[in-house]
Structure 1
Amino acid sequence: MIQRFIELGEGYADVYELLDLIKYNKERAMRLAVFHTELNGKKVVSPALIMNKTEIGNFQAIYISTEGIPDLEKPSERLKLIESAAENSGIPVVHLDVQPSVIFGEKELYFQHLIGILRMNRYIAPLSSSF
């Protein structure tokens, strides 16, 4: 199975894209993962909508808004909107602490790190081989 992150942006206008993905794809959405990290001394979150795999092509998309939403003592309005939309659509929400993307040489390595964390916690399917 191919599991790939599709980056939406850093949490401003792309929040509305994530909301529409939740609203119009609730049958295909598997879960919402909220990644918590610290970037440049500030706590931030990256919400990621994990989709079920496609029928054809064995592809699993994970739409993510990266490290642009502040992680405050009281959740920001943007994060509340996303979590509320997921919960209203019956999509489970999980919270995970992760390393910031800047410690990885490339964004793709960061996404592979997140995929490993999601697999290890059984939030997405393990890597399968086709022998």
Structure 2
Amino acid sequence: MLVFFTLQALGQATSQEGRYSVDFNRGCAPLTINVTEHDGFGDIARQYYYFEGANPTNLKTHTYHSAGIYTLVQLVGVNVDPKTDTLIIEVLEPLAPNFDYIKCDNRQVQVTIDDQNYPDYEVTFAGSSAVMLKDQEPT
């Protein structure tokens, strides 16, 4: 049995002013992000607008269910300039990878991934450990 999993997103990203970061700023829908604050302002109010037109919230976790480009805005309740800090979040359609495989002798499989949608691919064989294929590595 050949099973494919695609990585959801790229790694941690920091806001323009460096006041907060999210674990992922690009990935497939549904994409859940977690905010980590780095501002050093202490115990003050912080509100987040996870997309244009959203109601403010103090929650540090949000799930984007639809593909699109979103602007995450943090508003701080202290007298600083600027009072806001932003980060772009890109949510992609979850596309299935385009790949071919050939069963070879001696329980071997040749996998060819002809796809540019994801930076990495994890190939898991039943009863075996996974193999990670990085972008532009030979198959």
- The question of a shared fold, defined as TM-score above 0.5 by the shorter chain, is answered with no
In terms of fraction of residues, the more strand-rich structure is 2
TM-score, normalising length: structure 2: 0.25
